[in-house]
Amino acid sequence: MVTGTMTAKPDLPREAGLTPFEAERVRALAGREPNPLEWAMFGAMWSEHCAYKHSRPLLRSLPSRGPRVAVGPGENAGAVDLGDGLLCVFKVESHNHPSAVEPNQGAATGVGGILRDVFAMGARPVALLNALFFGDPSEARTRRYVSGVVGGIGSYGNCVGIPDVAGHVSFEPCYAGNPLVNAMCVGLVRRERLRFANSARPGSAVYLVGSDTGRDGIAGASLLASFELGEGGEEHRPSVQVGNPFLEKLLMEATLELVERDAAEAIQDLGAAGLTCATSEVAARSRAGMRIDVETVPRRAQGMTPYEVMLSESQERMLVVARPGRERDVEDVFRRWELHGVRIGTVTDDGMLTVTSAGEVVATLEPRWLADDAPEYDVRAWAEAPDPAGGGAAEPTVRTEGAPLQKVGLELLELLACPAVASRRVLYRTYDQMVGTDTVLGPGADAGVLRMKGRRDGVAVCIDAQPRVAAIDPFVGAASAVAEALRNLVCVGATPLAITDCLNLGNPERPAGAWQLERTVAGVKAACEALGVPVVSGNVSLYNATRGRDIWPTAVIGAVGHLADVASHIPVTSGRRGDAVLLAGSAAVSLGASAYGARLGMHEGPVAIDLALEARLHRFVLAAHAAGLVRAAHDRSEGGLAVALAELALRDGVGMRVTLPAVRGIDRRVALFGEGPSGVVLVVDPAHADALRVIAEAEGVPLWTLGAIGGDLLEVAPVLGVPVASLADAHGHGLARTLGREA
């Protein structure tokens, strides 16, 4: 019997973040009135952040199986098979609300959490990526966010010693008060060392390992990450977790040593909802019970209550279930790494999660009630597309009628220097990109490429998003994000294997938010099916809104690809003088959702994507690369064809002379600066051009010859001619100048 069971105060369920309907469901499951701690445990585990109440029914529709899938959704991270017994483990997660409250620690602990998700699987992390979304970089508030977030990511990843190899950054007004911080980690593990959280057995000892437990981040999952910012005042902003990357490094090494010794039968990261989440999920997945004593938990603060211990989200902690007879190994490993390795309980066969304190039972609940039985809401029942005239997620279209246009060359320089297009080097130079000595291609390439010591093959990774497109049509925006991520893998010569997604949206309880969520998931699903890749892990972050105004629907896609020979990747080069420059794919572009259009106050549809053409384009580029025909490849994305050509020229500082593809009805500025999916610029030896056309024709991919590499100008005849040095200055220093920094 639970000590302290009482008639609850009427506001206890509300304070835990539960609706009246959910409170009645809790009472029905428990068959009694929960006590305050139990209400808090339900509130944390049934929060949107943990339970995915509004998204889980939709997420089940995503394809998650494939010949290379080793672990799909439901574990700490997903995994794909690289061959010869080696698996690639990866996942992306959000830390949006904590980063909005405290940018440095919010971002840092986001990195720490995603690292733990990967090494909890027994995998050694080998790369970090991030996708960041801020407001206007000329504003002081945005600059504070950028400085804090980038500093937190850099300091944490650098101290742990994991290279940051790729990323995405957007600057749009909708993120001004609600920045997004999505962190991705990639790791490697031998199949026989893969660990799960669903294999705990009755009688096994349960250990809390790593750091001690404090009052930071208490109830963060239920109060901070599952409501809109500004909702309910400061009482809904609990303290953000505080990270210690040096402890994380020790915890990672100790955990991997434990895996190597085969001394653990289950491992679970302590993230959102802390001990409540880890104990209930391990027990529920293992179809067992668990009994823990909170008095045994090492603490960094005096007088902590069972509520605080069970709900604390202190960082750098893991739950480890020891194999029978291997308890001493667990204790010895963590002692040697100078970390806590304290036995806090036992796996039981009674099917209950029992929490004791000072010899008394303070909570007793079935773990599946917490981990599996949260209500699910079908948002399609109230989803409704926003009225374009009434202001949906996208900003209203503004046109500057009759505004004088500058010379096209000056427009290109301004576009290259604008925050949407300019080099992100001023940000990513904060990150260590080469630690570990396995980075072949780092930030600035279409995708990161990693070697694997002792093997010939390699891994390519990237992370992408298309928020301006998604603001107009969430389906097309999400599908375009998947397509862009896979296209970037293809542009370094990698065959896409699988994706992980982080879906960042606004309030799903409003009709427009529900519609955006449904259409975003549908877009990811359609693209994955058409392009032949599964979703093996991911995260959903909802309630990204400030004072009732949602962010744009933002599907962040992390992708992993495989290179049979890492030394034969498509290099980051401009090509050789005399090489042919070609455009493969679609020439159908528009200014409506483009970076160029944004500078004119334009943001409008229609937007579209031809997924069948996108699939053919990927096959064509990979076939051409396999035949040894491709010298360089670059995705046409932000800024359109003109920016893609400029970025190619900037790789080696070599110019080119080209003409625009002849497409009827397309204005020259649209052809230069218009954006659209399914476009790749290729550089090839002229002697290979005919062979390339044969492959393109076989795959049904349009191919235009634009011109040739050479000179010191980017010359688009007869439209513009700009010195490469001027392109380099604008692109290389534009963002730093906007942020008020030295480049």
Q: What is the CATH number of the domain that holds 603?
A: 3.90.650.10
Cβ atoms of residues 140 and 177 within 8 Å: no
Quick check: 511 pLDDT over 80? yes
Cβ atoms of residues 649 and 726 within 8 Å: no
Strands 703-709 and 679-684: unpaired
Cβ atoms of residues 539 and 93 within 8 Å: yes
Structural domain of residue 264, as residue ranges? Answer: 68-371
* Domain-ending residue, one of 309, 344, 371: 371
Q: Is residue 592 part of a domain?
A: yes
Catalytic residue among 54, 95, 97, 603: 95
Q: How many residues can be counted in the chain?
A: 743
Sole residue written with tokens 């999505």: 182
pLDDT at residue number 226: 61
Q: How far apart are CA 714 and CA 724, in angstroms?
A: 6
562 is catalytic: no
Sole residue written with tokens 């690639």: 88
The pair of three-digit structure tokens given for residue 363, joined into one six-digit string:
């909570």
Q: Is residue 12 part of a domain?
A: no
pLDDT band at 8 (very low <50, low <70, confident <90, very high): very low
Average of per-residue pLDDT values in the chain: 93
* Domain-ending residue, one of 352, 371, 390: 371
Q: Please list the residues that pair with 348 across neighbouring strands.
A: 289
> Sheet of 580-585: strands edge to edge?
632-635, 679-684, 580-585, 703-709, 656-659, 713-717, 720-723
Taking CB atoms within 8 Å and a gap of at least 24, the contacts of 575-578 are 575/631, 575/632, 575/648, 575/652, 575/654, 575/683, 575/684, 575/709, 576/631, 576/685, 576/709, 577/654, 577/709, 577/710, 578/686, 578/708, 578/709, 578/710
Query: What does the pLDDT look like over 439-470, one tens digit per residue?
Result: 999 999 999 999 999 999 999 999 999 999 99
Query: What does the pLDDT look like over 335-384, one tens digit per residue?
Result: 999 999 999 999 999 999 999 999 999 999 999 999 999 999 999 999 99
Q: Is residue 550 part of a domain?
A: no
- 66-75, 77-86, 403-412, 502-511: least confident range: 403-412
The amino acid occupying position 371 is A
pLDDT at residue number 545: 92
Question: Mean per-residue pLDDT for 270-287?
Answer: 94
Question: Mean per-residue pLDDT for 237-259?
Answer: 88
- 167-176, 215-224, 259-268, 498-507: least confident range: 215-224
Q: What percent of the chain has pLDDT over 70?
A: 93
pLDDT at residue number 242: 82
More confident residue, 205 or 272: 205
pLDDT band at 80 (very low <50, low <70, confident <90, very high): very high
**DSSP state, residue 40:** H
Number of CB atoms found within 10 A of residue 57's CB: 16
Q: Is residue 692 part of a domain?
A: yes
pLDDT band at 184 (very low <50, low <70, confident <90, very high): very high
Query: What does the pLDDT look like over 36-56, one tens digit per residue?
Result: 999 999 999 999 999 999 999
Coil/strand/helix, residue 583: strand
Query: What does the pLDDT look like over 543-588, one tens digit per residue?
Result: 999 888 999 999 999 999 999 999 999 999 999 999 999 999 999 9
pLDDT band at 227 (very low <50, low <70, confident <90, very high): low
Cβ-based burial of 227 (10 A; exposed 0-12, middle 13-18, buried ≥19): buried
Q: Is residue 434 part of a domain?
A: no
Query: What does the pLDDT look like over 427-440, one tens digit per residue?
Result: 999 999 999 999 99
pLDDT band at 11 (very low <50, low <70, confident <90, very high): confident
Q: How far apart are CA 655 and CA 689, in angstroms?
A: 20
pLDDT at residue number 438: 96
What CA dihedral angle connects 332, 333, 337 and 338, to 10 degrees? -40
Q: Give the DSSP per-residue string, 457-494.
A: -EEEEEEE--HHHHHH-HHHHHHHHHHHHHHHHHTTTP
Quick check: 403 pLDDT over 90? no
The pair of three-digit structure tokens given for residue 21, joined into one six-digit string:
């309907």
Question: Mean per-residue pLDDT for 100-123?
Answer: 95
Number of CB atoms found within 10 A of residue 201's CB: 15
Q: Is residue 641 part of a domain?
A: yes
Nearest to 592 by CA among 527, 640, 550: 640
Quick check: 418 pLDDT over 50? yes
Quick check: 402 pLDDT over 50? no
pLDDT at residue number 2: 42
Cβ-based burial of 190 (10 A; exposed 0-12, middle 13-18, buried ≥19): middle
pLDDT at residue number 235: 45
Q: How far apart are CA 185 and CA 120, in angstroms?
A: 12
Sole residue written with tokens 């001004």: 176
Q: Please list the residues that pair with 80 across neighbouring strands.
A: 69, 88
Quick check: 118 pLDDT over 80? yes
Q: How far apart are CA 294 and CA 342, in angstroms?
A: 11
Cα Dmax for the chain? 84
* Domain-ending residue, one of 371, 399, 414: 371
Strands 164-171 and 124-134: parallel
pLDDT at residue number 397: 46
Q: Give the DSSP per-residue string, 99-121.
A: HHHSHHHHHHHHHHHHHHHHHTT
Cα–Cα distances in Å, from 544 out to 49, 94, 182, 281, 498? 12, 11, 13, 26, 27
Question: Mean per-residue pLDDT for 480-507?
Answer: 98
pLDDT at residue number 398: 42
pLDDT at residue number 236: 42
Q: Is residue 255 part of a domain?
A: yes
Q: Is residue 631 part of a domain?
A: yes
Cβ atoms of residues 58 and 290 within 8 Å: no
49 is catalytic: yes
pLDDT at residue number 239: 60
Q: Is the dihedral of CA 479, 485, 490, 494 positive or negative?
A: negative
What CA dihedral angle connects 162, 164, 165 and 171, to 10 degrees? 160
First vs last C-alpha separation in the chain: 65
The pair of three-digit structure tokens given for residue 634, joined into one six-digit string:
């670059």
Domains in the chain, number: 2
The amino acid occupying position 249 is K
Catalytic residue among 49, 54, 569, 634: 49
